[in-house]
Structure 1
């Protein structure tokens, strides 16, 4: 599969110049946040996890590190950083937060805010055995290639909504995670 190179400088300038329109209208009141970790490399990567098969919700799914906002979290960004540390041992001080994407409503009743951050390439990830089965990296240029995402319209409780599906190696990337990556691709206008 051929991809066009995407340098970190190009990604950062596009992300900073083309700020997302944040719409706070949400069906969900409970707050959550995920970290969208971009690995600082000449050809940047996107760090993802595969959730443990033992979890009650979203077992085995590919996801970003994240979760519900706690009373101790000072902000949505703080929640995303805390969860990334708990799930894959990314130290909060190692993350250069560059911004947030518009919140997304989850089917589990949360308004999820994606926090985009740059992380160093030499971190040693230590997955929480209770929550994370695997940690892997996808080349950012490949992750942001819109053609890799395929729509599926789902009808649930009288409502219709679209989810996005994709494969990377043996990982099935879909739902909210695929939607967030696709939103990031649209946000920066990357066209490989």
Structure 2
């Protein structure tokens, strides 16, 4: 079987349980050898609160218990400028070689905006695209642009087939019912409305880090 590496990018400002669930879902489905967590400097967002190092630190803490090897990939934050996803995938393909199966993970909300990403059709030549969605999600639903649904749907395969080739396919895990907003988390933290309990949308280690570094306070 081809070596399979999962790629999970995000601004992680802060990282939350939705990100962790997305990674864990595909680690379980694909039995991947490695999860690369990529703190991004996204061109579509203008302001980030935490520093690049703090976002990398929080990602390290959030994924500390994953059963596979976890690598915090610093390439985007080390570039120090906004970066297109296609740039990062090209760099990873160059680093990891042409035979490694790269699986880029995203939520359904990102799929809705995929047509706005720079050179989005080129992504399919570089990696598999894996979407985790709520139960009942439909690729032909009104929230998915027609051109995205057509490109994604033409490449759709069962998850267990992804690691047999390096790139070019898509899959959907239709059972991730997590709806968490980093913006709402920052607002709640600023208002002092977070407590250490099982209902927190942030991993306990990450919340400890946020408090220790006095992040997201007004």
Query: Which is greater in Rg?
Result: 2
Greater strand proportion? 1
TM-score calculated relative to the size of structure 2:
0.30
Greater helix proportion? 2
TM-score calculated relative to the size of structure 1:
0.32
